[in-house]
A and B are shown apart, each in its own frame.
Chain A
Amino acid sequence: MELLAQGIVSGILVGGLYALMSIGISLSWGALKIINLAHFSFILLSAYIVYQLTVSFEVDPLLMVLVVAPLFFLVGVLVQMFFHLAKVDEFKSLIITFGLFIIFQSAMQTIWSADFRRIGPVLNPYETQSFFVGGIAFQLPQLVAFVVALLIAGGMWLTFTRTYFGKAVRAVAQDPEMARAFGIDSRRVAVILSGLSTAFSALAGVFIAIGQTMFPELAVAWFGIIFPIVILGGLGNSLGTLTAGVIIGVAAGVSSVLWGPLSAPLVTFTILIVALLFRPEGLITKRSIA
């Protein structure tokens, strides 16, 4: 029973991390109509960079946020500018970002090899620390990731509902031409949003580096988790993504306890299928960004 409770708690926390990983793709797809498969590579690449810098310069890995977040923001900006120049539509984006994903995967494999990489307890004191509440462990990296995810989801929700920028994004998402007619610089909005998306993914990468071992195939393993979350949570819907992340996280966690870790993709996928079956009219009833 205690094991189950642990599974649920860990599931909730890791769900936050999953949500953080998903929010980049969700925003990109919902607001920019670009399905950016390269996000998986960005997350992993950020993790590897954090690993490399931490190990090479012997610094605190958490500080690496200051490095990767702006770096990947820039990457996102460049990617969006490229897409705009090449007039890429929703489906071409699938192929192109798939190609980019493959390139990044190969590059990471070449640079860091297929070996497992872990920062190690000396430089990374966070990985093994946990808070204990009633015998249940709240692992520090996951806890911090969850809090960050909560802040970001909440922050994005506030941004989209309260600020001018947020409303501009929603306008562009619904009708770019119209938005432009109203004086919104949709290119600038798109570029900033893309930068934010990749920055969030980079942030997720930091927590990956702190929380677990890394290897190239990890990015591929995430497909089966992130996409159910993106679809269940609603495109561009940050709070929805957080909720979906938690649901999937708990499902994966509980099924790991009950049937072993290999059963997780099966369970999450089943959840997705069931959701699709029972809401055949579409999961996103309000295609609104919030």
Chain B
Amino acid sequence: MSGRVRTLVGFVAIAVILGLAPNIQESLEFPRFYLIFLFTMFFWISQASSWNILTGYSGYFSFGQGAFYGVGVYTVGVLVVKQGWSFMTALPVAGLLAGLTGLLLGLVVFRVRRLTGEIFALTTLAIAFVLASVARLSTFIDGGTGIFMTGTPLPEFLGEFTTAAYRLTLAIALITVVVAYLIHDSRLGWGLFAIRDDEPVAEGLGVPTFRYKMVALGANALLAGLMGGVWSLQLGFVTVDDVFNIRVPLFVILMSVLGGMRHWMGPVIGAVIITTLTDRLNSAGLADVNQIIIGGMLVVLALAVREGVYVRMRRRWLTTAVTFFGVLGLATLLDLNDSLISDFAYAMVATVVVMLVPDRVWAQFADLFRRSEPVEEPTEAEDLTRTGP
């Protein structure tokens, strides 16, 4: 139990440190950009983690992150801008509505007996288009004109706008990761893992599969919607095309595949890495090529890195630490460019590349360098996601 307590204390510490970042930024006069970079990262950490609660833990592949996120964004947009609600009242409603959307979806699809997994995946793919269609048609929601979010009043205690946005995204991200963590090593989590490995067998052993799947789906949808609600402020001008496009579902898949879908830290690591890399690619003017690279990475990762880099990072922790801090230090010293983020980017890329080395090759290296510590072959199977019943 002390492991749990330690981790939760760790979360609190991180919350406090990160929460004070705006104050640090102001007093040390770091560029405002760093705050924006950080809360973009929080956004993705939250989205990837909530997605993973469903797909990674239960194996039910969801393309629907964009749909749930979109419900969150538009709920806040409509309630606050068009109906005059206060932001803090609208936000929980956004989460609840998104959660409800997920549950309704589950009620229909999870009852299907055969091919549930595949049909679920494709239905989640289609649902975003349907919701986009609804939003476009309904003048109550969007009607094709979009919603202006700028100038939305926020509660005083959150501070001025960027700081407020920062703190809100931090809060939601923390909640999401803590939820993912708590589920991971709980009865619910193990039930989900069993469902992922072999659902009919799990059901036969007493796992209430329908109920657990609904919980995972509901949690995913609710958290995605909550973060969507907060993010609507950041978007400024909300349009159907911008909200319901392929970006959100694509990135969360990529981040979780990269980081690893078996552990709650996987999506976090993946989100940190991808956010940093895309930021650097954008500032280098490579924004167009961005999507091709993302798609390419997805293909390569799905093939090459079964369990995600996080698990490998833990196993090869010493090398990870050495590589990361080594390259970071080198980059800072050599002053290759003026952005601290770039230095981190180099360190991350270097570490990821090292992690991509297959275990078999690694084992040979390890034998050469270190004392005879037995390096285990990964015993987990290759599936990233489940196969259907």
Contacts and interface: CB of A to CB of B under 8 A. Distances in A.
Contacts of A148: none
Contacts of A96: 298-299, 302-303
B137 A106 contact: no
A89 B127 contact: no
A107 interface: yes
B57 to A, nearest CB: 15
Contact of B114 (A94, A221, A282): A282
Interface string B348-363: 0000000000000000
Interface string B265-287: 00000000000000000000000
Nearest to B111: A280
Interface string B34-58: 0000000000000000000000000
Given A90-B118, A224-B126, A227-B126, A103 B292 contact: yes
B115 A99 contact: no
A222 to B, nearest CB: 9
Contact of A94 (B61, B126, B250): B61
B13 to A, nearest CB: 35
Contacts of A262: 133, 136-137
A131 to B, nearest CB: 32
Main secondary structure of the interface of B (DSSP, over half): helix
Contact of A269 (B126, B137, B303): B126
Interface stretch (B19-27, B319-327, B378-386): B378-386
Nearest to A33: B387
A269 B126 CA distance: 7
B129 A221 contact: yes
Contacts of A151: none
A269 B294 CA distance: 29
B117 A91 contact: yes
B38 to A, nearest CB: 27
B331 to A, nearest CB: 29
Given A96-B302, A231-B122, A265 B133 contact: yes
Contact of A95 (B246, B294, B298): B298
Contact of B384 (A35, A95, A107, A231): A95
A276 interface: yes
Contacts of B129: 220-221, 223-224, 265, 269
Contacts of A220: 129, 245-246
B137 A260 contact: yes
Contact of A110 (B121, B136, B288, B385): B288
B125 interface: yes
Contact of A91 (B61, B109, B114, B127): B61
Contacts of A88: 303
Nearest to A280: B111
A102 B109 contact: no
A89 B61 CA distance: 14
A266 B134 contact: yes
B388 A105 contact: no
A104 to B, nearest CB: 8
Interface string B109-143: 10111110111011101110110111011000000
A122 B66 CA distance: 42
A99 B258 CA distance: 13
Given A260-B137, A282-B112, A90 B387 contact: yes
Interface string A7-19: 0000000000000
A281 B116 CA distance: 10
A284 interface: yes
Contacts of B1: none
B299 A103 contact: yes
Contact of A106 (B127, B133, B291, B297): B291
Interface string B78-104: 000000000000000000000000000
Interface in B210-266: 245-246, 250, 253, 257
Nearest to A29: B118
A95 B302 contact: yes
A280 B383 CA distance: 27
A231 B119 contact: yes
Residue of A92, A94, A103, A224 most packed against chain B (CB within 10 A): A94
A264 B126 CA distance: 12
A192 interface: no
A171 to B, nearest CB: 20
A272 B113 CA distance: 15
A282 B384 contact: no
B155 interface: no
18 contacts: A35-B121, A88-B303, A95-B257, A95-B302, A98-B250, A98-B298, A99-B299, A103-B299, A105-B291, A106-B292, A223-B129, A262-B133, A265-B129, A265-B132, A266-B134, A266-B137, A276-B123, A287-B114
Interface of B: 61, 63, 108-109, 111-115, 117-119, 121-123, 125-127, 129-130, 132-134, 136-137, 245-246, 250, 253, 257, 288-289, 291-292, 294-299, 302-303, 382-388
